[in-house]
Amino acid sequence: MSGCAAKTPAPETSSDESWTKIKDKGYFVMGLDDAFPPMGFRDEANEIVGFDVDLAKEVAQRLGVEVQFQSIVWDTKKEELNSGNIDVIWNGFTITEERKQDFLFSKPYISDRQIIVVRADSDIASKADLAGKKIGIQAASSANEAVEADKETFEVIKDNLLQFESNDLALRDLKGGGVEAVVVDEVVGRYYLSKHPGDYKVLKDNFDLEDFGVGFRLDDKAFHAEVEKALDEMKADGTAAKISEKWFGEDIINK
């Protein structure tokens, strides 16, 4: 046996550290884009509200802490999280293999698609019917990526895609007749349609399927586990379904 003492492995950063800090200060900070209804947005009183906001409030209550909401520039979400300015990203955050390299995700709690919305009296019934039609879409959105990924359809409609600053503007233009269809996140589109009953309809055809999850720092395993546990309890006891019905008129929570 060598007379040299065995080296003690360097201690790893404890995954409990972030959760301990949150418990000590009594709150966690949720980062979100505050212009993404119905997931997170500002109401007429300038208060941050939404489906994800209500979920987070319920989770916080079950964890025995409070939640504070911090509007962020979406492109800087990784930096905001890793710098400690926020503790979690929770705002219609799509889970991708690429993002899994930078974030620890919760299990998907909602699956989302890019749906095709037309006026209620439209004769458009499928993707094939979009040929030659003006189609609205939000600029630099996941809807753009989903449409481009459907190469067959994209080749047919690409010259008639009109870019809008927001989904709201695109849908308003649809109602006014400026465009004949809009491709939009299902959660956004369904919420908008619930506020304008009878004006629009959703085609059976759609683009892409994506999952929404809560994003944490990669080493925040303890905090991640606590939030996961609370969300599972909310699914089991029906609380998550009630929140979904409030915002979407139906239960769209992943079981």
Strand 110-119: give its sheet, edge to edge: 161-164, 135-138, 181-185, 110-119, 200-212
d(CA 89, CA 74): 10
Contact 84, 154 (CB under 8 A): no
Say what the pLDDT of residue 96 is.
84
Q: In terms of CATH architecture, what is 113-209?
A: 3-Layer(aba) Sandwich (3.40)
Say what the pLDDT of residue 15 is.
60
Say what the pLDDT of residue 4 is.
40
Q: Partners of 31 in the beta sheet?
A: 70, 89
Say what the pLDDT of residue 65 is.
98
Annotated domain spans of the chain = 17-109+213-248, 113-209
Distances (CA, A) of 56 to 135, 137, 175, 212, 245: 35, 29, 34, 14, 16
Element spanning 186, H or E = helix 186-194
Say what the pLDDT of residue 5 is.
40
pLDDT one digit per residue (tens) for the chain, 255 residues = 334 444 334 334 446 789 999 999 999 999 998 988 899 999 999 999 999 999 999 999 999 999 999 999 888 999 999 999 999 999 989 888 889 999 999 999 999 899 999 999 999 999 999 999 999 998 877 788 889 999 999 999 999 999 998 888 999 999 999 999 999 988 889 888 988 999 999 999 999 888 999 999 999 999 999 999 999 999 999 999 999 999 988 899 998
Domain 17-109+213-248 identical in fold to domain 113-209? yes
d(CA 110, CA 28): 22
Candidates 3.50.50.60, 3.40.190.10, 1.10.1380.10, 3.40.50.300; CATH matching 17-109+213-248: 3.40.190.10
